[in-house]
């Protein structure tokens, strides 16, 4: 039997509850743009749409624990370093070469805006596709506010900016509204066009359930990897040597980072809830939710760990030569830049290896 406490917050919320901001004493204004979230009377920042969403996620997690079910954990040791790293970015900016850092910040803001696609994920009839009921779980709230709140946080909503606008504000504060490399958007769009329809990994389960699990695993990984981006953003933008607004720009990244917490938490809760259940296969048999969720996480993580550092490097290096050419001593600067590169090799295990391979999960 379990010792975990029974959740003290309710387990069932309305769509309105999960999108509710509550009251703020002061709104968040990012470089003149009204953004989501705001400040309480004591000056602390509270993320948008979290007055009920945060206690709700806590309660669903407590319910999992009370049932002795695992909450999925992704090891932070897996995170690849940001490219260019903090030292490389500061070096370039100190030498008047800001283009690669402005480029990196712009890519981050655009990718944040893409996060709104989470609202297009189709949630199939989970009570038909899972053996155990979903009432009172985060799964029952995915299309009842959780995906929508997430989408609004990333891309903004109505007259309020979201993470896209907040990253732009951080960039523009630190670098005083720099010129944006004109090819940034084209390159990102080109990358999107190459994305192909994924092969089905679990053809026995309902296609929409498989695709929802795949999308959630992918977004969860992106959200966790963002930790590295926040550390980098704060370190670079708070450096008074190169930033025109070290406090305001780094604080902005801190607010975004705070807002990401509920994203990571509801996604890992919902995936854990599927992992704790039994999936009805299309052929009438049943499959372990854990096997499906872990296999999806393993495959997605392996792929991201292989591709992401390479992609980020090639995006950052686009235009690097042209940018360096503007420096006083381009060759010496390039040499120093290369010498500061972080050495990194992808970890051998993801922590979600199929049991049959006998792989050992990292701590």
Q: Is 112 in the site for Fe ion (CB under 5 A)?
A: yes
Q: Shortest Cβ distance from residue 254 to Fe ion (Å)?
A: 13
- Candidate segments 16-24, 29-37, 160-168, 289-297, binder of Fe ion by CB under 5 A: 160-168
Choice from 263, 280, 290, 294 touching Fe ion (CB under 5 A): 263
Q: Is 260 in the site for Fe ion (CB under 5 A)?
A: yes
Tell me which residues in 70-99 interact with Fe ion (CB under 5 A).
none
Q: Is 36 in the site for Fe ion (CB under 5 A)?
A: no
Q: Shortest Cβ distance from residue 2 to Fe ion (Å)?
A: 31
Q: Convert residues 218-257 into a mask of x (bound to Fe ion by CB under 5 A) and - (unbound).
A: -----x----------------------------------
Q: Shortest Cβ distance from residue 31 to Fe ion (Å)?
A: 17
The residue (of 224 and 305) whose beta carbon lies closer to Fe ion is 224
Q: Where does residue 233 rank: exposed (0-12), middle (13-18), buried (19+ CB within 10 A)?
A: buried
The residue (of 83 and 266) whose beta carbon lies closer to Fe ion is 266
- Candidate segments 1-9, 158-166, 265-273, 329-337, binder of Fe ion by CB under 5 A: 158-166
- Candidate segments 108-116, 228-236, 291-299, 350-358, binder of Fe ion by CB under 5 A: 108-116
Could you tell me the CA-to-CA distances from 109 to 133, 167, 188 in Å, in that order?
A: 38, 5, 11
The residue (of 103 and 164) whose beta carbon lies closer to Fe ion is 164
- Candidate segments 77-85, 109-117, 171-179, 310-318, binder of Fe ion by CB under 5 A: 109-117
Count of residues near Fe ion by CB under 5 A: 6
- Candidate segments 7-15, 162-170, 287-295, 315-323, binder of Fe ion by CB under 5 A: 162-170
Residue numbers at the binding site for Fe ion (CB under 5 A):
112, 154, 163, 223, 260, 263
């Amino acid at each position: 039997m379990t010792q975990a406490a029974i959740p003290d917050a309710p387990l069932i919320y309305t769509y309105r509850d999960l999108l509710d901001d509550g009251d703020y004493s002061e709104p968040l204004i990012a470089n003149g743009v009204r953004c989501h979230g705001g400040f309480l009377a004591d000056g602390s920042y509270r993320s948008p749409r979290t007055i009920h969403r945060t206690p709700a996620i806590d309660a669903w997690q407590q319910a999992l624990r009370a049932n002795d079910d695992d909450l999925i954990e992704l090891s932070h040791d897996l995170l690849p370093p940001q490219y260019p790293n903090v030292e490389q970015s500061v070096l370039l900016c100190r030498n008047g070469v800001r283009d690669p850092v402005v480029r990196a910040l712009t890519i981050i803001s655009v990718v944040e805006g893409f996060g709104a696609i989470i609202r297009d994920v189709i949630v199939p009839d989970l009570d038909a596709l899972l053996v155990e009921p979903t009432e009172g779980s985060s799964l029952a709230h995915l299309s009842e506010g959780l995906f929508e709140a997430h989408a609004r946080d990333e891309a903004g909503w109505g007259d309020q900016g979201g993470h896209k606008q907040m990253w732009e504000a951080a960039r523009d504060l630190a670098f005083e509204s720099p010129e944006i490399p004109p090819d940034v958007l084209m390159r990102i769009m080109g990358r999107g066009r190459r994305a192909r329809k994924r092969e089905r990994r679990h053809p026995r389960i309902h296609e929409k359930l498989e695709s929802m699990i795949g999308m959630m695993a992918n977004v969860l990984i992106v959200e966790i990897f963002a930790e590295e981006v926040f550390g980098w953003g704060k370190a670079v933008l708070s450096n008074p040597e190169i930033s025109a607004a070290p406090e305001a720009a780094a604080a902005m990244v801190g607010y975004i980072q705070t807002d990401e917490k509920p994203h990571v938490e509801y996604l890992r809760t919902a995936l854990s809830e599927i992992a704790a259940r039994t999936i009805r296969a299309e052929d009438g048999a049943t499959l372990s939710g854990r096997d499906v969720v872990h296999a999806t996480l393993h495959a997605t993580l392996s792929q991201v760990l292989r591709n992401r550092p390479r992609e980020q490097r090639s995006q950052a290096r686009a235009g690097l030569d042209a940018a360096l050419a503007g420096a006083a001593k381009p060759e010496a600067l390039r040499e120093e830049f290369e010498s500061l590169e972080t050495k990194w090799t992808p970890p051998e295990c993801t922590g979600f290896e199929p049991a049959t391979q006998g792989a050992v999960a990292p701590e």
